[in-house]
């Protein structure tokens, strides 16, 4: 007696098809799972036996052998429970085999026979569509997310007995199916209007958002670095549907999905004690790191100088490539990691405000050297924040400087600038100005005579090498885009020079 069931195993943010084959023989009753299962998969035997018996089915008193094919790939996690259970049921003729072959299934079983959600159901749904299945059975909780995939009928089923009823034609899930993109309920996104003053930093933030440039903010604690960074996702254009699916996919693999489609760009702010594998992903069964969780959003590294050097060095390649590659055995697993990096650090090691700070210039220089050169190499904008100018406190003790511009008009300007870039860079593979390489920045930039003369003046004064030149031009192009100018003018180049890293940091990078 033999039956097979299709299910999916996660690998990074992708899934590949796994066929669960079940064979029943006469012999001493036993239940063996082969095909490189890890301990968590072998435990499935107990769950499957109990779930079957508690769902009013029989567990055959035979020698049961289950094989997870392809047998050379290591299988982990409880998502094979459902397929194993159905394999046993089909092999013992408790459900029709032909009917079962039209479905792909994935889910974890409780001892009572209820279906539990699994990690990465969106990735599995994408895998099911790619493998050509028309129907996918998942737990009710996973259905909303899996249903984001077009051209696949997703059936959210509460329990094993219901699924048996379905396969035997005794039950249908409600006709309207699972809820399509359900708005994920989150806190309202913070607004730039909350930030008073800091006009310079707001401008830097807007430019960073408009061109996708990585940003480093420095300043004493409490001046508003984190507050500004937290508001960056809100001024970026909302993610497109494809981007939202990708964001959801990573979140779901990490078990962080609240269900439904991610409608916002992620903002991740890992603590500075994080390990390299926490930052870029890793583990025996590779899981996405913070940089992947920030995919299509913002990775904010507060206290940048306090991160361990190995952690910062690990970021280098992913920032360059937009993805993380992790080697496991013979296989390379990749996670997406297209992020905007925002760093923040104090402007001196003691972190106190001006009159109390006793740090010498050489202390500051040493502190600045702790920032790793390869990372600084990826930063286009350096913005120093002063303590905001407090005017005379009012009777209520409130700060009287007026509230700043709200996020909405900023987002509109950013979107316009991005559209302009999109048209110019169409078909080049670069999505925004920050992604232009040296060749693109030469071919896609029109410089005014004024801009040329600023550049040659800077070259004559020394301190502008080839790479610095490209970087200034990329930034100047974004500033011109914000100003709706098709040509890069002298003033745009001037302003771009104003955000350049300090000379010692440039030398290091």
Partner 1 sequence: MLGLDDEELIAAVAGAHAGEAHRFLETFDASVARRELERMGVHAACAHGSAYPVRLRDLRDPPATLFWVGSDERLASLTREPAVAVVGARRASQYGLEVGYSLGRGLGASGITVVSGMALGVDAAAHRGVLDAGGPALAVLACGPELAYPRVNRGLHGRLVGTGAVVSEHPPGQRALRWSFPARNRIMAALVELVVVVEAAEHSGSLITADLASELGRSVAAVPGRITHRGTAGSNRLLREGAMLTRGTEDVLDELFGPGARAGPDTPDPALETLGSSERSVLEQVEAGRGGPDALGLELRLSAAAVRAALGRLEAVGLVVRGALGAYERTAR
For partner 1, which is the closer residue by CB, 250 or 342?
342
In the complex, least distance from residue 79 CB atom to partner 1, rounded to whole angstroms: 48
Please tell me the count of residues contacting partner 1 according to CB under 8 A: 50
Residue among 416, 331, 311 at smallest CA distance from 371: 311
For residue 247, report the phi and psi dihedrals to the nearest 5 degrees: -60, -45
Helices (H), 236-338: 241-253, 276-280, 290-293, 309-321
For partner 1, which is the closer residue by CB, 139 or 464?
464
Distinct helix (H) and strand (E) counts, the chain: 22, 18
3-class secondary structure for 120-136? CHHHHHHHHHHCCCCEE
In the complex, least distance from residue 190 CB atom to partner 1, rounded to whole angstroms: 21
Q: Identify the residue among 105, 464, 473, 480 touching partner 1 (CB under 8 A).
A: 464
For residue 178, count other CB atoms closer than 10 A to its CB.
19
What is the rounded CA–CA span in Å between residue 13 and residue 276? Answer: 19
Q: Identify the residue among 26, 169, 327, 362 touching partner 1 (CB under 8 A).
A: 362
Which residues in 216-245 contact partner 1 (CB under 8 A)? 218-219
For partner 1, which is the closer residue by CB, 307 or 499?
499
202 binds partner 1 (CB under 8 A): yes
86 binds partner 1 (CB under 8 A): no
What is the rounded CA–CA span in Å between residue 405 and residue 235? Answer: 12
199 binds partner 1 (CB under 8 A): yes
Which uninterrupted H or E stretch holds 216?
A: strand 215-218
Backbone CA torsion sign across 35, 36, 40, 45: positive
For partner 1, which is the closer residue by CB, 84 or 381?
381
Stretch that binds partner 1, among 30-38, 72-80, 344-352, 408-416 (CB under 8 A): 344-352
For partner 1, which is the closer residue by CB, 147 or 501?
501
In the complex, least distance from residue 203 CB atom to partner 1, rounded to whole angstroms: 4
361 binds partner 1 (CB under 8 A): yes
Which uninterrupted H or E stretch holds 344?
A: strand 340-345
465 binds partner 1 (CB under 8 A): no
Write each residue from 488 to 507 as x if it is in contact with partner 1 (CB under 8 A), else as -, in one continuous string.
---x-xxxxxxxxxxxxx--
454 binds partner 1 (CB under 8 A): yes
284 binds partner 1 (CB under 8 A): no
- DSSP assignment of 317-339 equals HHHHHSEEEEEETTEEEEEE---
Q: How many residues does the chain have?
A: 509
Query: Which residues make up the interface to partner 1 (CB under 8 A)?
Result: 197-203, 218-219, 345, 347-348, 360-362, 364-365, 367-369, 371, 382-386, 388-389, 454, 457-458, 461-464, 479, 491, 493-505
């Amino acid at each position: 007696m033999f039956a097979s069931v299709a299910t999916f195993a996660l690998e990074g943010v992708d899934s590949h098809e796994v066929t669960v084959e079940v064979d029943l023989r006469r012999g001493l009753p036993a239940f063996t799972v082969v095909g490189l299962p890890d301990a968590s998969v072998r435990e499935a035997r107990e769950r499957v036996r109990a779930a079957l018996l508690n769902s009013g089915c029989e567990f055959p008193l035979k020698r049961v052998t289950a094989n997870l094919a392809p047998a050379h790939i290591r299988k982990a996690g409880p998502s094979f429970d459902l397929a194993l259970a159905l394999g046993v049921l089909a092999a013992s003729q408790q459900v029709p085999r032909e009917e079962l072959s039209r479905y792909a299934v994935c889910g974890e079983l409780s001892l009572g026979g209820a279906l539990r959600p699994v990690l990465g159901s969106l990735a599995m749904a994408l895998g099911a569509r790619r493998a050509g299945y028309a129907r996918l059975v998942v737990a009710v909780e996973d259905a909303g997310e899996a249903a984001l995939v077009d051209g696949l009928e997703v059936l959210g089923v509460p329990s094993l007995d219901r699924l048996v009823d379905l396969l035997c034609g005794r039950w249908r899930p409600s006709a309207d199916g699972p809820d399509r993109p359900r708005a994920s309920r989150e806190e309202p996104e913070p607004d730039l209007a909350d930030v008073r003053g800091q006009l310079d930093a707001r401008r830097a933030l807007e430019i960073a958002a408009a061109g996708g440039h990585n940003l480093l903010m420095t300043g004493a604690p409490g001046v508003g670095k984190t507050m500004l960074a937290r508001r960056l996702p809100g001024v970026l254009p909302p993610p497109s549907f494809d981007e939202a699916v990708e964001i959801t996919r990573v979140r779901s693999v990490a078990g962080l999905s609240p269900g439904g489609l991610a409608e916002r760009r992620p903002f991740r702010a890992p603590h500075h004690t994080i390990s390299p594998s926490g930052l870029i992903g890793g583990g025996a069964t590779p899981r996405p790191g913070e940089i992947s969780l920030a995919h299509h959003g913002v990775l904010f590294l507060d206290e940048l100088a306090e991160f361990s050097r190995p952690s910062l060095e690990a970021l280098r390649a992913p920032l360059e490539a937009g993805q993380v590659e992790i080697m496991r055995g013979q296989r390379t697993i990749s996670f997406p990691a297209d992020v905007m990096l925002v760093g923040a650090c104090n402007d001196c090691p003691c972190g106190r405000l001006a009159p109390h700070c006793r740090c010498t210039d050489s202390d500051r220089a040493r502190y600045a050297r702790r920032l790793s050169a390869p990372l600084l190499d990826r930063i286009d904008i350096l913005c120093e924040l002063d303590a905001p100018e407090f005017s005379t406190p009012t009777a209520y003790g409130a700060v009287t400087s007026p509230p700043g511009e709200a996020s909405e008009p900023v987002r509109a300007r950013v979107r316009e600038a991005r559209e302009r870039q999109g048209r110019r860079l169409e078909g080049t593979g670069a999505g925004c100005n920050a992604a232009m390489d040296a060749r693109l920045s030469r071919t896609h930039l029109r410089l005014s005579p004024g801009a040329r003369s600023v550049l040659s003046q800077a070259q004559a004064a020394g301190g502008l090498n080839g790479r610095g030149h490209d970087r200034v031009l990329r930034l100047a192009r974004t500033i011109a885009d914000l100003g709706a100018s098709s040509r890069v003018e002298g003033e745009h180049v001037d302003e771009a020079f104003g955000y350049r890293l300090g000379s010692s940091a440039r030398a290091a990078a």
